[in-house]
Amino acid sequence: MNVAVVTSAHDFRRACQEARVDGELALVPTMGSLHAGHESLIKAAAQWAPTVAVTIFVNPSQFGPGEDLASYPRERAGDLRKCEESGATFVFAPETPAEMYPPGFQTWVEPGPLARPLCGERRPGHFRGVCTIVAKLFALSRADAAFFGEKDYQQLLVIQRMALDLNFGIEVIGRPTVREADGLAISSRNSYLNREERQRATALWKALQAARRKFAEGERDPASLEEVARQSLEAEGVRIDYAEVRDPVDLERPSRADATSRLFLAAFVGKTRLIDNGELGAPR
C-alpha cells in the first residue's frame, strides 16, 4: 500500500501545507466504506489537481439518535486500496472521534434555509454536523477544490453556500450520481440491504423515471409529478419519507416545474433509508 495515511489533525494540516507548495490541492471528504461513487470523485479530483487528499471519518455529529452511527460500515483496508487505485495522494483517517471533537469542543457551523427542507426536516441537526466537520476539513486542508456527489444534492448545495458564506475560497465541485446497472444510486448504505430489499431498492430510480416520463408528456404541476413518484414508490412496497419537486438552486418549491427542477426522494426499504434525486428534464 503506497498511499500515505495520517491520523492526526496536526499531521493532516502539515501534509496539506507541504502539498500546496507543489501546486493545487483537491479534497475528497468521505465517511469511508468507499464505493464506485467515491472512486469517481477521487478520479475527478486527480484530474483537477496534482495532489488529492481523501478524508475518511464517520462523523458522529451528523447522525441523529436512533440512526446508524454504530453500524455504519467501516472497511479501512479496502478503503485505502480504493483510494490508492483511484489516484489519492494521501488519506486522513482519524482513529477516534476525539481527534476532530476534542474535549471542550463547542463551536458549530449552523447552515441556513437550504438545510431546512427534505433531509434537513427529517434529520434535525444533520446538516449542522455535516457543515461543522466539512468546515474543519476545509480549514485544516485549505484545499483549492473539494468534490462531493450529487446523490447528496442538498448536502452539495449546503456546502457550496457554506464555502461562500465563510470565505473558504474553496471551489466546491459536484459530480454526477453513480448508479448500478439497474439504476440504483450507489451508496454505502446499500450494504444494509438483503437480497429481496436490494431488488426493491430500485423503487427510487423507477419513481424518478416515472416522474420524468410524466414531465416529458407535458405535466408541469409539481404536486402531480410528486403524486406519480409516490404511486410508483408505493407500488414497489417501500415506505415513503419524502417525494418532492424542488428548485435546483434554492430548493424552494416551484409553482410550475421546468426541465431543471429536481425530484428529491427518500424512502425506507426495510429499515434502510435511501435517498435519490434527479432533474425532471434529464434524458431517460
180 CB contacts (<8 Å, ≥6 apart)? 186
Alpha helices, H only, 22-125? 36-48, 76-86, 118-122
CB 133, CB 101: distance < 8 Å: no
Residue 35 a catalytic site member: no
CA 106 to chain CA mean position, Å:
25
Write out the three cell numbers for 76. Answer: 479501512
Contact string 22-51 vs ligand PAF (x = CB under 6 A): -------xxx--------------------
195: exposed, middle or buried (Cβ count in 10 Å: 0-12, 13-18, 19+): exposed
Write out the three cell numbers for 193. Answer: 440491504
Residues 44-103 that bind ligand PAF (CB under 6 A): 59, 62
Please state, in angstroms and rounded to a whole number, the distance separating the CA atoms of residues 65 and 193: 21
Residues 110-169 that bind ligand PAF (CB under 6 A): 130, 133-134, 152, 155
Nearest CB to ligand PAF, comparing residues 51 and 187: 187
Rounded to the nearest whole angstrom, what is the least distance from the CB of residue 58 to ligand PAF in the complex? 8
Catalytic residue among 10, 35, 38, 126: 38
Nearest CB to ligand PAF, comparing residues 133 and 178: 133
Nearest CB to ligand PAF, comparing residues 3 and 54: 54
Rounded to the nearest whole angstrom, what is the least distance from the CB of residue 148 to ligand PAF in the complex? 6
Give catalytic residues, as residue numbers.
38
Q: Which residues bind ligand PAF (CB under 6 A)?
A: 29-31, 59, 62, 130, 133-134, 152, 155
